[in-house]
């Protein structure tokens, strides 16, 4: 069975702090894709990144970076120098066969000025 | 490029009433999904269409929920009769076929059942 665990329910930081959101996944499939989505207060889920199971290279996009480690089944997300606009709920998701996307329970990030 | 459209944005009904939600996916996206997101939880897939055929409806409560995508473009999700526990946000998403493609989500319909 596929499962995604986001153990951090809510994180509060002050602007300009760095913050890491944890994601641990479970699957027996060898081919799979991992995703991060952002859900701002407006409610719409916004795609941030996709990573396939054969590519463990870390990725950086501006203030965002992602660390994928198959050895620990983790796909963590770091925001550097956080800003108030980063306040949202962040979801990690796993997609294996048949395109069924399984989401974690989300981490609510609150960035205060 | 236009995103995924959904309507209505909000709906309040009494239990045992019926309700329908509409979704228009991004042009060219053959795959369409309906998710249910209960407050404080991640979205849960209800049904997935590939063109106008159902790929996965294993988590759809078929005694009360139904969905269709007759012409392979827009889709309707219906609940009849509604229960209190159906209160949630119903999200529609679309993508190109294939598990590597990201799904694009609409703004959702917030349903409150009283």
Question: A-chain residues within 8 Å CB-CB of B33?
Answer: 101
For A53-91, what is each residue's pLDDT tens digit?
998 888 888 999 999 999 999 999 999 999 999 999 999
What would the two tokens of residue B80 be? 């009849």
Report the 10 Å Cβ neighbour count for B38.
13
pLDDT beyond 80 at A99? no
**Residue in B48, B98, B108 nearest the CB of A44:** B108
A107 close to B (CB below 8 A): no
- Residue B65 CA to residue B83 CA, distance in Å, equals 11
Distance from CA of residue A69 to its chain's centroid? 13
A42 close to B (CB below 8 A): yes
How much is the pLDDT for B70?
Answer: 81
Q: Please give the pLDDT value at position B8.
A: 97
- DSSP secondary structure of A30-63: SS-EEEEEEE-TT---EEEEEEETT----EEETT
Looking at residue A100, what is its pLDDT?
78
B12/chain A closest Cα distance in angstroms: 17
Closest by alpha carbon to A32, among A92, A78, A77? A92
Section A83-108 average pLDDT: 90
Q: Which DSSP helix (H) or strand (E) runs through B48?
A: strand B44-50
- Kindly identify which residue of chain B lies nearest to residue A52, measuring between CA atoms: B100
Give, in degrees to the nearest 5, the angle at Cα B43 between B40 and B30.
Answer: 160
- A and B: number of Cβ contacts within 8 A: 58
pLDDT band for position A98 (cuts 50, 70, 90):
low
């Amino acid at each position: 069975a596929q499962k995604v665990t986001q153990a951090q329910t809510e994180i509060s930081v002050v602007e300009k702090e760095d913050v890491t959101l944890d994601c641990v996944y479970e699957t027996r499939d060898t081919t799979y894709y991992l995703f991060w989505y952002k859900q701002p207060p407006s409610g719409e889920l916004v795609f941030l990144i996709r990573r396939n199971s054969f590519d463990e290279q870390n990725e950086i996009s501006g203030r965002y970076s992602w660390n994928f480690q198959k050895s620990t089944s983790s796909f963590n997300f770091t925001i550097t120098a956080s800003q108030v606009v980063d306040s949202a709920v962040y979801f990690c998701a796993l997609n294996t066969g048949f395109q069924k996307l399984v989401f974690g329970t989300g981490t609510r990030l609150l960035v205060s000025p | 490029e236009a995103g995924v459209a959904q309507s209505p944005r909000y709906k309040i009904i009494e239990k045992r009433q019926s309700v329908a939600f509409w979704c228009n996916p991004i042009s060219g996206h053959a795959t369409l999904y309906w998710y249910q997101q209960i407050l404080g939880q991640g979205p849960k897939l209800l049904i997935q269409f590939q063109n106008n055929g159902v790929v996965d409806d294993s988590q759809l409560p078929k005694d009360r929920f139904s969905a269709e995508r007759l012409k392979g473009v827009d889709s309707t999700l219906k609940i009849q009769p509604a229960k209190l526990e159906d209160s949630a946000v119903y999200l529609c998403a679309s993508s190109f076929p294939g598990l590597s493609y990201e799904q694009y989500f609409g703004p959702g319909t917030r349903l409150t059942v009283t």
